[in-house]
Amino acid sequence: MLKHPLERLRNSFSEVEDARAKNVSHLLIDIIVLAICGVLSGADSWVEVEKYGQAKHWFFRAFLELPHGIPSHDTFGRVFSKIDPKQFREGFFKSIKFIANLIEQHVAIDGKVLRRSHDKTNNLSALNMVSAWASKNRMVIGQEKVRDKSNEIVAIPILLDLIDIANCTVTIDAIGCQTEIVAIIIDSDADYALALKKNQLNLYETVKGLFDDPDEIEKRNCNYHKDINKGHGRIEVRECWATNDESYLNYIKNELGEWAGLQSLVMVQAERHINGEVSVEKRYYISSLPPDAENLLNIIRSHWGIENSLHWVLDMAFREDESRVRQGHAAENFAIIRHLCLNLLKKETTAQCGIKAKRMLAGWDMNYLFKVLSG
């Protein structure tokens, strides 16, 4: 049994290699632990991590070696710019194993651009991270950087290979609707529900043509489900139609590519009533799941939660879009730290407040910091 919460961090990241020259002043594991605790406690930059460490020096010197005190912000930035993100991500994977036994019934894959992370001086674009979100656990379970001059289509298969998605349903926006990605999901013993847009024009038009024709919907014996939600002066009506009509599925298979495991064609219509104004939006999907409209609607709605539960929280509670960390690998490694901290803070449920307030509480109260780190 680990005797102290900080030992979990040491254990998780102990195999990260130090890329610096020998005879360094600060131990790598001390730097990593201080950075994670600092971000967990409200720090959003290397300067803030340094100030946090100085303010809590009396505390950390009892648990870390700190042979030359608290590192400077330049040291934090320089060290994290050199840490191999693949090794650092392995530490992340080890850490989430400590946090919870994951129930990955649904995994949402989505990308997010860190707006201020671009480096004009060195002609580097802003960091785009594709993340995997376990909606049942409300945790990040993996991430992969979109490499320069590449896109999410390349990053998503790499991410899927990094995480265990067996027996899960994977949802991805339209950019992930690719035959190669579908094959990876099916080969991993998982299912999928993928959004359709005009990047797959012929497939999109085929599915759209089916559901935009009321006679076709009736003819193809579509399964149907409807949800109505009311609150805060808003009414939202969501309807879902799904079918496994053989004539359409055979046409897609024979004419539009090999979409492995394809069982259902799906349309979701969202109708919103706000202050007397009505808006209607239709979205189209393909899925390897049976045409159970209620189940498919629930899964598709769960995917939308990644925006509110992950991306919005990273921006509002961690100020991710404002981060100017960009040197070397530092931006990617800092993003991994945020994901780890978000997981830890969501796992801790005794404090009845939001993520930003939890970060502040962890900075004020070392007992609460220990509770968060204990998972």
Of residues 162 and 230, more confidence is placed in 162
Q: What's the pLDDT at 304?
A: 84
- Poorest-pLDDT segment among 33-37, 45-49, 58-62, 284-288: 58-62
**What confidence category does residue 122 fall into, taking pLDDT thresholds of 50, 70 and 90?**
low
Distance CA 138, CA 107 (A): 10
Percentage of the chain lying above the pLDDT 90 cut: 76
Residue 1, pLDDT score: 43
How do residues 83-110 score in pLDDT, each as one tens digit?
A: 999 999 999 999 888 765 666 689 999 9
Cα 211 from chain centroid?
31
pLDDT band at 121 (very low <50, low <70, confident <90, very high): low
If phi > 0 it is left, if psi is from -120 to 50 it is alpha, else beta; for residue 233 that is left
Are residues 267 and 285 in contact, defined by beta-carbon separation less than 8 angstroms?
Answer: yes
Q: How confident is the model at residue 308 (pLDDT cuts 50, 70, 90)?
A: confident
Binned at pLDDT 50, 70 and 90, residue 373 comes out as very high
CA 186 vs. chain centroid, Å, equals 21
Asked if residue 151 lies in contact with residue 160, where contact means CB atoms within 8 angstroms, the answer is no
Whose tokens are 């797959």? That residue is: 200
Name which residue leads in pLDDT, 75 or 327: 75
pLDDT in tens, 185-226: 999 999 999 999 999 999 999 999 999 999 998 898 899 999
> Minimal CA–CA distance to 38: which of 83, 46, 79, 368?
46
Least confident of 113-117, 142-146, 165-169, 299-303: 113-117
Report whether pLDDT(55) > 50: yes
Please state, for a pLDDT cut of 70, what percent of the chain lies above it. 95
Rounded to an integer, what distance in angstroms lies between the CA atom of residue 296 and that of residue 193?
Answer: 8
Mean pLDDT of 267-277: 90
* Greatest pairwise CA separation for the chain in angstroms: 76
3-state secondary structure of 285: strand
Give the residue extent of every domain in the chain.
5-96+328-374, 106-315
Mean pLDDT along residues 160-178: 94
Contact 12, 94 (CB under 8 A): yes
Question: Average of pLDDT values for 247-267?
Answer: 96
Q: What is the mean pLDDT of the chain?
A: 92
pLDDT at 144: 95
CB distance 169 to 185 below 8 Å:
no
CA 265/CA 201 separation, integer angstroms: 15
DSSP string, 308-371: IIIIHHHHHHH-GGG----STTHHHHHHHHHHHHHHHHHH--SS-S-HHHHHHHHHH-HHHHHH
Burial status of residue 198 (CB atoms within 10 A of its CB: 0-12, 13-18, 19 or more): exposed
Q: CA angle, corner 318, sides to 98 and 29, nearest 5?
A: 45
Determine how many CB atoms are found less than 10 A away from the CB of residue 187.
11
Least confident of 10-14, 121-125, 278-282: 121-125
